[in-house]
Amino acid sequence: MQIIWSDFAINNLKEIFNYYKTNVSLKIAHAIRKQILEATKQLQRFPESGSPEFYLEELQLNHRYLVINNYKIIYRISENKILINDVFDVRQSPNKMINKRTK
């Protein structure tokens, strides 16, 4: 299966990277980004390995997620493709996930 990242998810990953680069270190920023990207590779072989995303059920698009450190990689499966929709910091309120996705 092909993995496709939405612009929204790419921007969130960049924001995460820039936050750690600025506030922690470049080395840590690279490590976190690498962990997130590596985690998505398992989806090619096991696309349903993530759990259903309860907070996005109202969209009825069957979103699923993987948790890596403090981040949810939110994705859905569509026409033999895995669409990465968001990288969400789980330390935020889940309501922000819904608000970000619907705006």
Taking residues 2-26, report their average pLDDT: 96
Domains within the chain, CATH numbers bracketed: 2-102 (3.30.2310.20)
Tell me the per-residue pLDDT of 33-90, one tens digit each, with 9 for 90 and over.
999 999 999 998 899 999 999 888 888 899 999 999 999 999 999 988 999 999 998 8
**CA–CA distance, 81 with 72 (Å, rounded to integer):** 19
Q: What is the pTM of this model?
A: 0.86
Could you write out the DSSP letters of every residue in 42-66? Answer: HHHH-TT-SEE-GGGGGG-S--EEE
Q: Is 47 exposed, middle or buried (0-12, 13-18, 19+ CB in 10 A)?
A: middle
Do 74 and 89 meet the contact criterion of CB atoms below 8 Å apart? Answer: no
